[in-house]
A = this chain, B = another copy of it.
Amino acid sequence: MALRARALYDFHSENPGEVSVRENEVVLLHTDQDIEGWLEGTNSRGERGLLPASYVEILKSDPATSGDGNRYANIPSVPSIPSAASDAVPSFSTFSQHPGQHGYQPSQGSDEDWDEDWDDASTVADEPAGIGGLHDFEGNGPSTYRVSTSSMSRAGNAQQAKSSATVSRNLNRFSTFVKSGGEAFVLGEASGFVKDGDKIYVVMGPYGPEWQENPYPFACTIDDPTKQTKFKGMKSYISYKLTPTHTHTQVNRRYKHFDWLYARLVEKFPVISVPHIPEKQATGRFEEDFISKRRKGLIWWMNHMTSHPVLARCDVFQHFLTCSSTDEKAWKQGKRKAEKDDMVGANFFLTISTPAAPLDLQEVDSKTDGFKAFTKRMDESVLHVNATLSEFARKQIAGFKKEYQKVGQSFKALSQVFELDQQAYSVGLNHAIAYTGDAYEAIGEFFAEQPRQDLDPIMDLLALYQGHLANYPDIIHVQKGALTKVKESQKHVEEGRMESAQAEGVRDRCNIISFATMAEIQHFHRIRVRDFKAQMQHHLREQIAFFQKITGKLEEALHMYDQA
């Protein structure tokens, strides 16, 4: 059964069996089922071969073919994303919609460019084309990530070349499982010396595995975004004052520092959802609204960083929070150390210490599937709530305000007409009606101002969660990859192609990844319940105060008639 698909990007075949396509080229696919991220197809020149599933969109899917089998491997059809909703999101989303944690190109700043004026505009320019411009909903599963060739590290190939394990390697050089180091770790290729201080503990909590709590919890405020200049005013940037509660010492940081830190964290932690930093913006960076919005985004981000038992304690974050802004030498030292950290990717898993009793991998598999379904549904719902609230905000700012003001103006006009009548007994009424008109105009303003108080905060929260939800497909992919390797190794043992000791090693390492994934899922649910509860309460309190303010205004107006 042939399906028509359109190439979203250029793809240059680099290995035998791959087929090149140009952007917008129509390709015939032989199936819509990808094999670890690859699809078999024939390009417009009649060449047949594999091409990355994420590089194409299927043009017209026969509904009969997509209902069966493994939904996970299916390419989701584009129309499942409500277009009105996705249109509405960018204007309200504070957080960047990276196509996936690992699809994000980390800023690899050297010491040299650290000292250069990396302003936000230049970091926007650094962003690879094809990522910065995307704002589609990308949380459906790994096969939907759209990554451009230019942004892809081809590290997978190198790893593939040196592989010597008997368990088959992943064909897909774009696979998160490969890129994250998950595959290398499961196959026993990771090695490094783990200091006691680097150890990350997963413990059994009342609801299953969880990250060991931070024994020294702290928070960090972000205040006073101020415009700073360099080179006699030629270059400007915004500096934020950060004050962690465990040091009480203020440090100044710029957006580029957050960006650098974010890149380090993404690189280091393969199964931890690093909160996205507020998105980059090329223009209007010094406008008050933007600064206030970015600061709020950074506050949310910081909240999620300090709430995470692993992220909160990691060296690079502590360096970021505590290194004096004026001690350039200490800063560079910490920066270099972070960039040379060995315990990243595959080696990160070496640092994880788990409870003695291994997990039931079948249960892990099923829980992972459950979480996958949950995040997909939550992502859709968050998108929908976001679109609804942004529309509601827009209506209040424009329509509701206008309606109340028109009523106010018509009452005021009536009171002016009534003033034409010089009867003494009409004076009080005229004033009271004019006052009522003013009250309605004020209520119109209240409606226009209100979304900032009680809708924007929810939308900021939703944007942060959209970032997390975009991270989870990668995490799930790593977990699923590890589980697949366990199954493969079992089969190989049965077929006598692998020693059972080797297979046990695969299973043990998959157990470690599973503990980490389960702990991360648990953490997600905890902060989700905490955050949504707090935000809904805040929203309702603000709404109550808002309607009470309206009532107060109307009561004032009503009292005017007592003397009328």
Does residue A525 face the partner (Cβ distance < 8 Å to B)?
yes
Chain B: minimal CB distance from A532 (Å) = 6
Interface string of A346-383 (1 = CB under 8 A from B): 00000000000000000000000010011001101110
Question: A373-B420, A426-B529 given as contacts; is B410 within 8 A of A384 (CB)?
Answer: yes
A411 — which chain B residues lie within 8 A by C-beta? 385
Q: Does A161 contact B (CB under 8 A)?
A: no
Within 8 A of B (CB), among A147-185: none
- Residues of B close to A399: CB separation below 8 A: 395, 399
Q: List which A520-547 residues lie within 8 A (CB) of chain B.
A: 525-526, 528-529, 532-533, 536-537, 540-541, 543-544, 547
Alpha-carbon gap, A355 to B237, bound state (A): 86
Is A388 part of the binding interface, using a Cβ–Cβ cutoff of 8 Å? yes
Stretch of A126-134, A186-194, A429-437 contacting B (4+ beta carbons < 8 Å)? A429-437
Interfacial chain B residues near A536, Cβ < 8 Å: 429, 432-433, 436, 561
State in angstroms the CA–CA spacing of A403 and B400 once bound together: 10
A555 proximity list for chain B (CB < 8 A): 544
A residues 382-437 in Cβ contact with B at 8 Å? 382, 384-385, 388-389, 391-392, 395, 399-400, 403, 406-407, 409-411, 413-414, 416-418, 420-421, 423-426, 429, 432-433, 436
Query: DSSP class of A's interface residues: helix, strand, loop or mixed?
Result: helix
Partner of A207, one of B410, B423, B526: B423
* B residues less than 8 Å from A544 (CB atoms): 551, 554-555, 558
B400 touches A385 (CB 8 A): no
Q: How far is the CB of A436 from chain B (nearest CB, A)?
A: 6
Chain B residues within an 8 Å CB radius of A528 = 418, 426
Q: Which residue of B lies closest to A378 (CB)?
A: B417
In whole angstroms, what is the CA distance A432 to B207 when docked? 22
Contacts A529-B425, A533-B564 hold; do A436 and B540 have CB atoms under 8 A apart? yes
Task: Please give the distance in Å from A162's CB to the nearest CB on chain B.
Answer: 41
A298 part of interface (Cβ distance < 8 Å): no
In the complex the two chains form, what is the Cα distance from A391 to B402 in whole Å?
11
Task: Flag whether A548 is at the interface (Cβ < 8 A).
Answer: yes
Q: Are B529 and A558 in contact (CB under 8 A)?
A: no
Q: Which of A380, A414, A561 is most buried by chain B, counting CB atoms within 10 A of its CB? A: A414
Q: Choose one: B381, B403, B537; the contact of A417 (CB below 8 Å).
A: B381
Task: List the B side residues contacting A377 at CB < 8 Å.
Answer: 417, 420
Minimal Cβ-Cβ distance residue in B for A432? B536
Beyond A543-B554, A544-B551, A551-B551, 19 additional contacts (C-beta under 8 Å) are A207-B424, A370-B420, A373-B420, A374-B420, A374-B421, A377-B417, A381-B417, A384-B413, A391-B403, A395-B399, A395-B403, A425-B525, A425-B526, A426-B525, A426-B528, A540-B558, A544-B555, A547-B547, A547-B551
